[in-house]
Every structure is written in structure tokens, then in C-alpha cells.
């Protein structure tokens, strides 16, 4: 593409001289003593200098860096440098013509047109590189959108598989059945919270992010179900400032971390579990003491891996996982 543009630009920049050659009577007045050899050397010089300017623009704009942002300051600096280099190349060609007798056009009109041609060549070269950058950004964005759409489908599948599997539904219905016999009032509240969890999980939400206040409303419903099942053996310490509730997170991100803590830790009278949910800086964390189940063999980290991929695709950042002998902690950036 750059080669084709350079050839076309070389001929267009010397179109007046080419027209003069085709009409000797008119051309002799505008460009006296013009010959095919002179015009040919000028066209070749313009072609090679344009290619050189293209490669210079590519280096300065760093077009080969896929994630490089290109601001107006860099474009302006590139334009100025290209214009200066284009002018120096023209003076270099004049020097070669004078001292090495290389054929060149010596007409005064040709020299008067040089500044205008330098500006036109610089504008076309820099503009072409800028549009190429925008085209690459557009293609990269389309690719990331496709990847995000694929990850979203995978995440929805994992959410349905892990949140609404028969085991969870069976436990919830068992708890509900017990409450109906023992405490109808509690059973009614339990059923209401269960319906909220089911509605949020099954809701076909096309948005890739939700407000933290909406996510925490869902999490509290999910916590209610867990506490009805584990009673005083499971407790939560939640401390989120009001100002942070409008920040954005991927849907079901916090809930998935809570479920991971419940799924992979022993919860009993002997070993009660406390899950901490709070904010540090611009991030939300979920942490708990490690007390692994003796029979737990399902620690595949699929949920955390999917959440990490969603963060990288959506926001260009990643979650943080910290684990030592006693505690496990996951930190989510709040957008």
C-alpha cells in the first residue's frame, strides 16, 4: 500500500511538468529547458523520499506497537519532523544536482512549487499513517469485542453450571421445606430471596458491567440463603463506603468469590467461617481464613480464571489473588 501511494504521489507532484512535456509550446514558457530525463529523476527522487518519510512516520508513531495510543501531540510532532526532513531531502537533491550533475528541473516555477509540494507530501504521508493507526485500532477493537462476546458466553455457561446446578437447587429446596414446617414466616422470606437470586442469575443482561450497589444487593440475597443453611456457623463482615457503590464490576463477580469461599472451606460448629468484604483504595476485596474441606477435590479455579479474563478484556487490568498458609484474598479493581 505504501509503495502504491508513493508511486502515485510521485507522479501527481510532478503533473505540471508532465503536462508541460506533452505540450512543448506552453511548457517552454512555464518550464524552459525541461526534458524527460529531468522529470524522470525528479519523480524517482520523490518516490524514494516519500517511502523514506513513510518509514520515518511508522517509527515515530510506533505503528508496529499493537496497543500504542496515538495522541494529537505525537501526530503534530510527527508532522513537523516529516516536514523538516522532506525539506532537507529536497535541499539534498539540489546539492547532488549542482555538484554531481544529476538531471533535475531548474525552472523558477518548479522551485516556487517546492514548499507547497513539501506540505502536500507531508500531509498525505502523516495523514495516511494516522488513518492506518485508526484502522488498526478499529480492527483490534472488533477483535476484542468478539473475544469478549465469546468470554461472556463461556462465563454465562459457567455461571449457570455453578450457580444453578441441581445440587444447589436441591439444598435450597431442602432448606425451604424445613422452614415451611418450622417457621412459615421465615420460609416466605427465604422464598423471596431465592427468587431474587434466581432472577438475577437467569436475567439475560447484555451489559458487561453492573453498579456495585446492584451486585451487592444480589450478594446480600445470596448471603441470606447461605446463612439460612449454615446458620451461625457462617458470618459476613461487609464494609463498603457509600461513595464506592456506584463503581462498576462484572456481573456476579463478588457473588462468585463468596461462593468460592463457601465451596472450598469447611463450615461447621467446630470451624465457623467468616468472610470479609471491604474496600482498599479503588478496589474491593473478599477474604477468608483457609480451612479446607477434607473431601474437597474440585479446586479447578475455573471461576477465577474466567473472572480474570473478563477484567483483562473489559478494563485492561487484572484481579489480584493473595494466598498464604492462613488466609485467601481476592481483590477486584472497581471501575
Q: What is the pLDDT of residues 62-87, one digit of tens each?
A: 887 766 678 889 899 999 999 999 99
Confidence of residue 252 (pLDDT cuts 50, 70, 90): confident
Cell 474491593, residue located:
284
Residue 308 confidence (pLDDT): 87
How far apart (Å, rounded) are the C-alpha atoms in residues 233 and 222? Answer: 16
Residue 164 confidence (pLDDT): 44
Domains assigned to the chain:
2-143 (no CATH), 164-333 (3.30.565)
| Exposed / middle / buried, residue 272 (Cβ in 10 Å: 0-12, 13-18, 19+) | middle
| Residue 21, CB-side half-sphere exposure with 13 Å CA sphere | 13
Residue 266 confidence (pLDDT): 93
Query: What's the pLDDT tens digit per position in 93-102?
Result: 888 888 888 8
**Taking 80 as the threshold, does the pLDDT of residue 168 lie above it?**
no
Task: Output the CA–CA distances (angstroms, integers) from residue 180 to 185, 186, 189, 193, 198, in the order listed.
Answer: 8, 8, 11, 15, 19
Query: What's the pLDDT tens digit per position in 263-297?
Result: 889 999 999 999 999 999 999 999 999 998 877 55
Closest CA to 321 of 335, 334, 305, 310: 305
Q: Taking residues 168-181, report their average pLDDT.
A: 78
Residue 296's CB is within 10 A of a number of other CB atoms, namely 11
The model scores a pTM over 0.75: no
Return the SS3 of 313: helix
Q: Taking residues 208-236, report their average pLDDT.
A: 90
Q: 35 vs 164, which has greater pLDDT?
A: 35
Cell 456495585, residue located:
212
Would you say 173 and 229 are in contact if contact means Cβ atoms under 8 Å apart? no
Amino acid at each position: 500500500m505504501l509503495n502504491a501511494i508513493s508511486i502515485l504521489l510521485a507522479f501527481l507532484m510532478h503533473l505540471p511538468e508532465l503536462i508541460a512535456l506533452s505540450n512543448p509550446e506552453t511548457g517552454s514558457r512555464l518550464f524552459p529547458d525541461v526534458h524527460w530525463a529531468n522529470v524522470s529523476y525528479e519523480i524517482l527522487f520523490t518516490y524514494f523520499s516519500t517511502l523514506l518519510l513513510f518509514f520515518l512516520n511508522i517509527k515515530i508513531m510506533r505503528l508496529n506497537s499493537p496497543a500504542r495510543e496515538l495522541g494529537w501531540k505525537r501526530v503534530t510532532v510527527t508532522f513537523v519532523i516529516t516536514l523538516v526532513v522532506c525539506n532537507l531531502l529536497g535541499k539534498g537533491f539540489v546539492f547532488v544536482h549542482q555538484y554531481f550533475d544529476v538531471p533535475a528541473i531548474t525552472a523558477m516555477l518548479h522551485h516556487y512549487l517546492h514548499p507547497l509540494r513539501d506540505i502536500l507530501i507531508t500531509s498525505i504521508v502523516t495523514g495516511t499513517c494516522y488513518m492506518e493507526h485508526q484502522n488498526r485500532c478499529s480492527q483490534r477493537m472488533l477483535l476484542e469485542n468478539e473475544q469478549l462476546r465469546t468470554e461472556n458466553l463461556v462465563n454465562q455457561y459457567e455461571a449457570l453450571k455453578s450457580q444453578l446446578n441441581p445440587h444447589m437447587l436441591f439444598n435450597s429446596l431442602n432448606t425451604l421445606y424445613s422452614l415451611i414446617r418450622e417457621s412459615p414466616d421465615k420460609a416466605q422470606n427465604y422464598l423471596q430471596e431465592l427468587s431474587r437470586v434466581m432472577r438475577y442469575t437467569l436475567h439475560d443482561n447484555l451489559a458487561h458491567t453492573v453498579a456495585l450497589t446492584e451486585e451487592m444487593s444480589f450478594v446480600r440475597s445470596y448471603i441470606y440463603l447461605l446463612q439460612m443453611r449454615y446458620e451461625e456457623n457462617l458470618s459476613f463482615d461487609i464494609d463498603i463506603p457509600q461513595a464506592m457503590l456506584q463503581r462498576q464490576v462484572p456481573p456476579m463477580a463478588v457473588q462468585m468469590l463468596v461462593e468460592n469461599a463457601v465451596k472450598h472451606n469447611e463450615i461447621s460448629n467446630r470451624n465457623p467461617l467468616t468472610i470479609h468484604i471491604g474496600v482498599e483504595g479503588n478496589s474491593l476485596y473478599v477474604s477468608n481464613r483457609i480451612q479446607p474441606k477434607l473431601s474437597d477435590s474440585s479446586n479447578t479455579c475455573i471461576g477465577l480464571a474466567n473472572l480474570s479474563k473478563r477484567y483483562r478484556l473489559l478494563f485492561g487490568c487484572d484481579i489480584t489473588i493473595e494466598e498464604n498458609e492462613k488466609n485467601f484474598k481476592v481483590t477486584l479493581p472497581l471501575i
